[in-house]
């Protein structure tokens, strides 16, 4: 189809993001009306979509002391929250604070760092918030994977030691307080990505992938399932995949299937796997 035949919402768009180095991730919010970008220049930018379909920069600031690998949005039910992870071995939680209209009737907004997680001893390579129905939680993956749980809020993060950590916040109204509640040894090689399952009809799953070349002949992806009775995460599946390229990302399908999950794996090409947990 010719672009001229598309409506404004279907046309591709491009804009100058003004980052001074490589951009590592572009993340839309839940509604697709906001966009966040992060870069090796240690900065994060937030963009808002206007009614005419263009994008304007709402904020840009330095967030870490090293390259910023990932930025993720929390579900808007918990407010305007972002999490970032970096080569500087930390995870930061950011909240947008809106002020009352000023003398000219304009509302102001600023992003405030609410939490600073620095207990990692390695480069944190990925993070992910849990789906809304699990609450406010965070998972991080590194060559040490980290989890963070915030009362009724989950987020996930990944780093470079093969360890997954889960953190919990005691009160969703106080985003400054997070405590480590689980730590999982996923690999003895570098961890590259982590992802939550989205299904409400199954027990929660966490998929963790290694992008380390040393893992090519070993486990590339491991799946953990949360056992509510035991109150712990248990490894249920290990995948040894014959792929020519390292796994750089993975996503569960948001559509629930009665007896399985679908997992998309980016490794040069995109591969779709049906995951059954018995």
Which CATH number do you get for residue 144?
Answer: 2.130.10.10
Average pLDDT rounded to a whole number, residues 247-266: 90
Percent of the chain at pLDDT exceeding 70: 82
Average pLDDT rounded to a whole number, residues 10-37: 84
The number of distinct structural domains making up the chain is 1
- Whether 143 and 162 have beta carbons less than 8 Å apart is answered as yes
DSSP for 36-94, written as a single string: EEEETTSEEEEEEE-TTS-EEEEEEEE--SS-EEEEEEPPGGG-SEEEEEETTS-EEEE
What is the distance between the alpha carbons of residues 20 and 43, in angstroms, rounded to a whole number?
Answer: 9
Quote the pLDDT of residue 148.
53
Tell me 143's DSSP state: E
Q: Comparing 256 with 250, which gets the higher pLDDT?
A: 250
Quote the pLDDT of residue 107.
60
Quote the pLDDT of residue 209.
93
Quote the pLDDT of residue 31.
94
Q: Comparing 69 with 104, which gets the higher pLDDT?
A: 69
Average pLDDT rounded to a whole number, residues 56-63: 93
Tell me 202's DSSP state: S
- Structural domain containing residue 87: 3-275
């Amino acid at each position: 189809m010719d672009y001229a035949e598309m409506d404004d919402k279907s046309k591709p768009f491009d804009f100058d993001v003004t980052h001074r180095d490589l951009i590592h991730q572009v993340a839309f919010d839940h509604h697709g009306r906001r966009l966040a970008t992060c870069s090796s220049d240690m900065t994060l930018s937030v963009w808002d979509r206007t009614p005419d379909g263009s994008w304007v920069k709402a904020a840009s600031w330095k967030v870490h002391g090293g390259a910023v690998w990932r930025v993720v949005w929390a579900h808007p039910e918990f407010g305007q929250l972002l999490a970032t992870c970096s080569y500087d071995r930390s995870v930061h939680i950011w909240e947008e604070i809106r002020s009352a209209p000023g003398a000219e009737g304009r509302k102001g907004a600023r992003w405030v760092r609410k939490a600073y997680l620095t207990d990692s001893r390695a480069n944190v390579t990925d993070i992910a918030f849990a789906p809304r129905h699990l609450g406010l939680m965070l998972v991080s993956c590194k060559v040490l994977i980290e989890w963070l749980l915030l009362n009724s809020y989950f987020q996930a993060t990944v780093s470079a030691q093969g360890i997954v950590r889960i953190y919990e916040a005691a009160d969703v109204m106080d985003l400054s307080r997070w405590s480590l509640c689980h730590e999982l040894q996923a690999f003895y090689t570098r961890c590259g990505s982590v992802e939550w399952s989205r299904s409400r009809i199954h027990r929660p799953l966490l998929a963790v992938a290694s992008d380390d070349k040393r893992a090519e002949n070993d486990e590339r992806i491991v799946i953990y399932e949360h056992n509510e009775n035991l109150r712990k995460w248990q490894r249920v599946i290990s995948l040894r995949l014959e792929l020519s390229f390292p796994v750089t990302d993975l996503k569960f399908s948001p559509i629930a299937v009665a007896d399985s999950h679908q997992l998309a794996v980016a490794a040069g090409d995109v591969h779709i796997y049906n995951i059954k947990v018995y």
